[in-house]
Amino acid sequence: MPLTKKLNRINFGLASKTWNTIFRWRLNDFFLCVVLLIIYGALYFAPPFEREFYVNDLSISHTYATSELVSTTELGIYAIMVPVIIIVILGLSLSNEKRYYVTWISFMGLLLSVSVTSFLTGILKNWIGRPRPDFISRCQPMDDTDEDTYVLPSKVCQQTDLALLRDGMRSCPSGHSSTAFSGLGYLTFWILGQTLAYHKKTGSWRTCFAFIPSLIAGLIAISRTEDYRHRYSDVALGSLLGAIIAYWSYKRNFPNFNTNLCYVPCQLIEENNLENAVVVDFDDNSGHDNYQRAFQSDEENRLYTN
């Protein structure tokens, strides 16, 4: 008996025009991001797993730092606001008639990267429940606590600030590290594509410039060990998580860096049949004109050149 298609798995039964609009502008991703960020906010108020510990464990006996090298507010500025500003400025400057679409799709990729990373980080933090390096300082254990016996925070900690105590049990993975790489790592991928950094006729400075955001993300991640908020393993896991999600989010919307139109969203390439368009060599001072002739039709010129 032959299989029959009862439901369109692409649009789940929505009208084609409606679905095409939603998908083209990634509105489905936008609503997903809103939901994920709401859940992430709720996770902060959920109690993390309460893991047993030794009160004489030197690895969690560092002093609690009241000020951080990179605060949560500063992290939001560096990892989210700065990439948004750069994407908007470059997106509107480097594209022509489709500049608003390119900018919006680029922004949605960033938003999805940060949202998914934050959501996964929040779940892992609560599920793992690893004490921070400054946990003893937060806990303030009772003086008569047995030093050679595993104890639970709820049994021995005298800390009255419950939020501070619970946050001390959310060491792994590092949220600063994952967020930094989800935002600034995404910006690195985006700049690599938008500047044709892998084209044989472009200078290596473009690649170096593109990796500046990732360098900043790395410095933010390392700062968490200097504040004694995380171990290097926490930072490494958070950084890896953020970088992987950033690459995944970027690749959903843009082709490979070594393709001819790596700066054009995949949706526009498909809509306008630009898979075979090529990039011309810049062998004279009329690089802009050569750039226009790189495309194989007047329609492509109109869509993607100034």
47-88 pLDDT tens trace: 999 999 999 999 999 999 999 999 999 999 999 999 999 999
- Burial, 236: exposed, middle or buried (Cβ in 10 Å; 0-12, 13-18, 19+)? middle
pLDDT at 242 over 90: yes
Instruction: Please name the residue that has the structure tokens 């464990």.
Output: 57
List pLDDT tens digits, range 201-240.
889 999 999 999 999 999 999 999 999 999 999 999 999 9
Quick check: 190 and 179 in contact, CB under 8 A?
Answer: no
pLDDT for residue 279 is more than 80: no
118-165, pLDDT tens digit by residue? 999 999 999 999 999 999 999 999 999 999 899 999 999 999 999 999
CA distance 138 to 118: 24
* 262 touches 196 (CB < 8 A): yes
Largest Cα–Cα separation, the chain = 82
SS3 state at 281: coil
pLDDT of 289: 34
**CA gap 10, 293 in Å, rounded:** 36
Q: Please, what is the average pLDDT of the chain?
A: 89
Each domain of the chain, given as residue ranges in start order, spans 50-271, 272-306
Please determine, for residue 31, whether its predicted confidence score (pLDDT) is greater than 90.
Answer: yes
Half-sphere exposure of 251 (CA within 13 A, CB side): 9
DSSP letter, residue 132: P
Label residue 290 exposed, middle or buried (CB < 10 Å: 0-12, 13-18, 19+). Answer: middle
CB atoms near residue 110 (< 10 Å): 25
- Contact between 52 and 153 under an 8 Å Cβ cutoff? The reply is no
Nearest to 249 by CA among 295, 202, 185: 185
